[in-house]
Structure formats: C-alpha cells, structure tokens
A and B are shown apart, each in its own frame.
Chain A
C-alpha cells in the first residue's frame, strides 16, 4: 500500500508529534508514504476567507505533484485534508475551475489523485480487523474520548464520516483495546484560530470542550487535528487556571496511541513533547500476558 504523503505546516512544527507518529505507525503497518517534494501550505483557514481562488490554487499544486506520481494523498491534518479534498472535488465538478487551477499552478490537476484523510486510510483501506491483528500491547483500561472536531466530518461534501456521530476513530480505538467513552462534544468546534486572534471568543469554546471531557470520567482525549491539539493541549493549563481548575487531561494524536498499541517507544512517537504530560497515563495500561494480538 503506497500513498503520497502531505504532512502540512503544523506537522512540520507545532504538531511534530503527529508527523513522527504517523511515519512510525505507517512503517509498522506496511503503509508506504512518499512525501510530496517541496510541498506548500494548503492555505488553511486564511486563504478561503481571503480569495477563493487562492484556496484552490495552493492545495492544487501539492495534489498535482501527487497526481503526476500516480498516487492518492494521505493527509493527517484535518484542515489540510478538507482544503485538498475541496480542490479535488472542484476540478472534477467544473471544467472552468480546472482551467483556472491549471493557470494558477502551471500544470494540470484533474482530480484523479484523491485527497484521503489518514484516519480514513486506516479505517477503510487497512480496516479495523487488520489493525486489531497487529496490536501487540492492547490499550486495556484506557478510557478515551474520541474528538473529531469539524473538518473530518463537515462540510458534507468533503467529509468522510458522519457529521453528528462519526465512528471511524471510535472503532479504531476499540480495535486497539481502549474503552471509548461517550460524550456530547465529539464534533464540537474548538474555535480553531479564534483562540489566537480573538481569545474572548476562542477560549470559552475550548473551555466548554474540556469541561465536558472532564465530566465524562475519561482519562484522555484522542484527536487527529493539530489545531484541536494546540487548543486542547497547549491552552489547557491557561484555560484551567482562569477558573481555578486543573484538568490534567492528556490529549493524544490517534497515531500516538496506535503506536503505543503497536509497542513502539513513546518517545519515538513524540509523546514526551506535549504540554499536558502524556507519558504517565500510558503506564496505566494493564499489562497483558503473552504478546501478539488480543
């Protein structure tokens, strides 16, 4: 199984753990990743509120390079995925858009190379049965909340899972042996960049999700979005302090917990680089007798 790999800007810096754990897990699962050479930013949340053409042109260049290599693109980040999927669909929908995109990127992009969310690749292409067979250290006793946020499940056009009750991450976590808890903030918006440019609005949005997580009785939150991670992990202490609460809720990228279940060393997955300490909780995982599968 081989995919072009688009890490995106966050995975090259603030979300480096997502990059490290993605590469390590894919290697262990025999998923070959070919990183798109000299990839550029997908335009994120700024291009599409500035100029709709820019929001098509930026991700199209990466997609076109992958198309020339004849590969679909595996994309870990939720925003990068949604932006890239958007241009894939747009060029397929309209010849006029395809022409304009070609003008911007100086090459053809026909939409033949598909944008795939990494979680979707795990869920649909590998499948939970296959993942379950590869588990060496089941996450027994770990109570997790799956947090999908927005851009994997909305808008409908680009989504790969249900908008109100997505299950792909739940089933992957169950296959890893974790206990998936239910909560109502599964697909709530974390406010994305509002915490950075309008904190009076952004912070309460994060606070609501953290409060909800705390009430659920879970040990941790699992996400697949570097923006959600920054908001829930980096800002957790800052937001808790304001109201005198210590949440102490580790937040993991789904690939980090996949890596743990595959018995990869936590540091190789970047788990020591979180703001909320995330290594200790992993010691809670009940040891199982005998290795290989459950």
Chain B
C-alpha cells in the first residue's frame, strides 16, 4: 500500500512536470484511437499511443515513463496531424522520453546509445561523422559487424568522409551545448521549486 502511494506521489509530480515541459493539452484527448491506428510503429509498441495519452490523463505518468512505446516512436507526427482534437501526441511522447531518460528508465538501450553517440559526435565536430557513428554504435551495443558490409561500397562510391569535420568556430558549438545544458538544468530546478 505504501509502495502504491509512493508511486502515486511520484506520478503526480511527473504529471505536473510533463505539463510544464510539453504544454500538450492531454485532457483534450477523447480516446478515439486514431493516433494508434495510423502509427507506423504501433505493431511493435508495448502500449499504444492512445494508451500513453490515457495514462497521462489519469495522472499515471510514471507508467507512461516506463513504456517502450515512447522510445520506439519514430517522431513521424502522423498521430499529431490526424488527431481530431489537435493534440500533439508526438511532442508528448518526445517529452516523456526525455523525462524517462532523466529518471533512468531506458528500456530500449540500443536506441538510447545510438542517439548518445550522435550527440557526442555533434558536440565534438559540429557535424555528423558517419564512420564514428557506426563504429561507436557497434562497439557500445555489441553488434560488432552490423552494417559492416556497407563500409567498402560507401568508400568506393566516395560517399564517406574518412576524417571528421573540423569546425572553424569551435567555440560556437561548445557554447551551444553548454548553454543548452544550463537552460535545461534551470528549467528542472524551477519545476522542482514549483512543487
């Protein structure tokens, strides 16, 4: 019972935080399910986008945060453009995913690692560096040979840069990353204070 009330309290805080961060009006959703019907990834989700929205409406945000669905969402926004109530479901999923990660709920590790490597490369070089992305992904996920066979054709077709880009204004990139992190931390502090 105590466990249940703790979970409820967590959910209540998370619900308030989600609202402040996404500004999505989840209450508008009348559960028609059009979002799930048109979702190209729905077949692979543990709960449907409609159910994610229902959990949010009920204040059971902790449950939504633990779902795989928010990680598998491809961000195609088909749900959002088709929603008869104009609810931006895709943006809600994206915000939930950021919050899930902050809380350590990462059920789709490979997806998370892939994006972490991508972010790291952007931070270091200001641009994407494909060989770094592929090698980094394969090493961290343990799928060592994934897409290995594409490397040679890409080189032969002259479609890969062997060396990463070296930004001329390296400080610009550094400032964007550092300031974005500070702004995010400020927001988080405000959410906690507001409780």
Contacts and interface: CB of A to CB of B under 8 A. Distances in A.
A290 B43 CA distance: 53
A23 to B, nearest CB: 16
B81 A155 contact: yes
A154 B122 contact: no
Contact of A61 (B119, B157, B160, B176): B176
Nearest to B121: A41
B24 to A, nearest CB: 12
Contacts, number: 161
A200 B68 CA distance: 14
Given A104-B175, A201-B41, A13 B80 contact: no
A16 B76 CA distance: 24
A52 B72 contact: no
Interface residues of B, number: 59
A264 B116 CA distance: 41
B179 interface: yes
Given A53-B183, A61-B176, A192-B74, A273 B81 contact: no
A38 B169 contact: yes
Interface in A2-20: 9-10, 12-16
Nearest to B111: A197
Nearest to B97: A49
Nearest to B143: A199
A124 interface: no
Interface stretch (B10-18, B52-60, B146-154): B146-154
Interface stretch (B1-9, B26-34, B123-131): B123-131
B75 A192 contact: yes
Contacts of B128: 9-10, 13, 41, 44
Q: Which 4 A-B pairs have the closest CB atoms?
A: A197-B114, A9-B128, A189-B76, A53-B180
Given A15-B159, A40-B173, A154-B80, 16 more contacts: A9-B127, A14-B154, A14-B160, A41-B127, A46-B122, A49-B97, A52-B98, A54-B176, A54-B177, A57-B179, A104-B180, A106-B175, A192-B76, A194-B72, A196-B114, A197-B115
Interface of B: 40-41, 43-44, 72, 74-78, 80-82, 88, 90-91, 94, 97-98, 101, 108, 110-111, 113-115, 118-119, 122, 126-128, 130, 137, 141, 146-147, 150, 153-154, 157-161, 165, 167-169, 172-173, 175-177, 179-181, 183-184
